[in-house]
Structure 1
Amino acid sequence: MISLLLASMMMVGLLAACGSSSSGNGEAAPGDEGKKAEEQVTVEFWTISLQPTFNDYFNKLITDYEAQNPNVKIDWKDYPYDAVLNKLMTNIAGGEAPDVVNLNTELANQMGTKGALVDLNQELTAEQKAAYFPGIYSSTEMGGQAYALPWYTGLPVLFLNKDLVEKAGLNPDTPPQTKQELNEWGRQIKEKTGAYGYIFTMEARTLLEENLPFLSEDYKKATFNTPEVEEYVNENLQLLNDGVIPKDIINYDKQVQYFASEQVAMSLSSSPFINKIKTAAPDVYEKMIAVPSPVGKAGIRYSNTMNLVVPAATSHKKEAVDFAVFVTNAANQLEFSKIANTLPSTVETAKDPFFSENDGTLEGVAKTVSAVSLDKAEDFYIGVESAKDVNQAVTKALQTIYLNGADVKKTLDEAEAEVNKILGD
């Protein structure tokens, strides 16, 4: 699910010169001695875990781009997610950083705050920027600067066990649209069936989803230690204590196990969850339906977006930005979505019938119900270099309360002190 990827985000700064190569002898071209041959440029392009599954797509995309830009050669390299950080650090140290890099939102923002990335607000036209969903584009926009072009994304879906929902006297055709309604459904499911209502996310981002205070506007001070947050946490504790939501579901496999064994009726997750249930419990898969995820008081749905960034030190900024725009344009995102089962970050792409029509299968419905939420999508991020540490500190505090029954006020006090220390370092 999306929370897993968010939890795995890494921190690093990109503070080195680009290692792209260029050639061109500078001599007059044959038959045109008054002009110099156009400089040949190699743009090094890094992606994360996309080879070999999508080789055909990227090979064609690169061939098309090079045909349109004969002076540019694209050198595509792909690395496993867990290896990207070390590889990037090694190349940085050796002065050979790539030109265009595929990064998640949190890492892109952290690198951007160090001045390591090109400000795309300065490079793109108003029309080019308007091509992307505003909430997703602005997720890497801070202080008037935009650090990344959003690429492919994903949004959570609420999966229901139709049998359990109906057994509880609820209508799956009118599913919960808000977190408050989700809680009400969960209580009724518990009361009528004995099953847990839904699987709960114990992460820092839940505070922002409910429009609760988190950090000061200048990101220099924790602001989440308030009576409002304390009340929200206590409400969730009551749901846990009443058996509306299970406690031991931090592990993704455990969440799959609960849903597959029909111990829980609802789960907020993403498309890969479908295959997990289909494999583990084909009979439960037949009972599953997908509906849009409920929203909290902030009215947003947190997406999980992969982006393209351009290192500020690149010697081929124009070509790198142009290629990044090409990769993320509406037509190319549509083709990628069709083969990768991802959602696009571009407004025009999402208008295609591919995202509004489906074959009636669970997979098809999950795609369409998530696509309709793109206009409410934002990526979760904290605009500081120490974002990962802040996120972990608050998440750990919430989990300590929810799982271990720790005193709410005391734990929030301790988390506030820890976050302020992190922000002050």
Structure 2
Amino acid sequence: MFPTTVSISGYKVSEQLYNGSRTLVYRGYRETDLLPVVIKLLKNPYPSFSELLSFRNQYTIAKNLNSPLIIQTYSLEPYQNGYALLMEDFGGISLKDYFTSDQTRHTDFLQEFLRIAIALCNTLDILYHSRIIHKDIKPANILINPETKQVKLIDFSIASLLPRETQTLMSPNVLEGTLSYLSPEQTGRMNRGIDYRTDFYALGVTFYELLTGRLPFRSNDPMELLHCHIAKDPGKIKSEEIPQVISDIVIKLMSKNVEDRYQSALGLKFDLEKCLHKLKETGTIDSFEIAKIDMCDRFIIPDKLYGREAEIATLLEAFERVSKGATEMILVAGSSGIGKTAVVNEVHKPIVRQRGYFIKGKYDQFQRNVPFSAFVQAFRNLMSQLLTESTSQIQQWKNKILEALGENGQVVIEAIPELERIIGKQTPAIELSGSASQNRFN
């Protein structure tokens, strides 16, 4: 158990603010000058290297962001086996708590929402120009002072200083970020890179929740939640209190393809300011064309593939037939570097949307001495995907695989070691010699 009393040299702790699964947050003050502080600690008394790295990461990134829109970090102090992160205390509470209060649901609710949304646009613009991806935008990580209405962004524990990165396929239980606010590309199942626009998707989910009081996608099953982000349409916000144009803005932010979202925080801010101006002037917000001046000042090559629509359609038609029980093989041929891999990768997203498994293997000229190298690569990738499934689904796959392999389980495990994590240890294979061993797979 974590100690209930916290003692940090030079600081006095007054109350606990948050008790989460990984962190503890306290309010206190610095004894030398009575400066109010918020103290964040790791809950694990023996934190792992990744937990310590995450803690240092949020301090390193936040300390270089000198903005009133972002929580200021004062210092990172050693505490027991980990660290204590000392941050400013401006009397804020989370947006989640602020908007669940009955007092906020008044006639000026929409005006207040728009002011907060505009402040968040300014925050994301700062992150954009600092080349930082937050990756965990949500109401719990946005603080507001109930009196001054000042808004600040917190928690840079999984933020990235890379302008673009790739999310590898992982179990939904260990994915970075919060599942309810995760962008499709952040799931690692979209064959798409992560850039600053992933924060726009999470901001859209946040806006949706603040406006409606509920999340666009709700499920107790992590895999179901990931599938919703990848394939399910959240639908427009149906409420007489929420103007159509605000609903359009939120849905655009939540587009599955990054190219269809807003491309700049300032473009989004312009539309929100226009809404606020109309609301103040007339009391209503008439519809208008959104994203009219939205543009990005960076040269970004889109992930979308152009000029191969016919080939992609052929592959997807084959997938449709296979999903109905057919068995097919398609050969994609062409000169080296012409884009065969790019064409095949383009069907990744539609297949995952239908909850299929997309696996691939490639024969490499430097691995000609490895038998079945492309098949081994493909099936090792399949094992990685299966291991992200629920326990019951893994058990179903185990039964199917054991039924298909019979006594040859160990033979395949020797070629695909990851298979052992699904079907368990198998009886040793009968040793064969000479050509019989080479022809075993035949």
Q: TM-score range by the shorter chain?
A: under 0.3
> TM-score under structure 1 normalisation?
0.20
TM-score calculated relative to the size of structure 2: 0.19
Q: Which has the higher contact order (CA 8 A, sep 6+)?
A: 1
Which protein has the larger Cα radius of gyration, Structure 1 or Structure 2?
Answer: 2
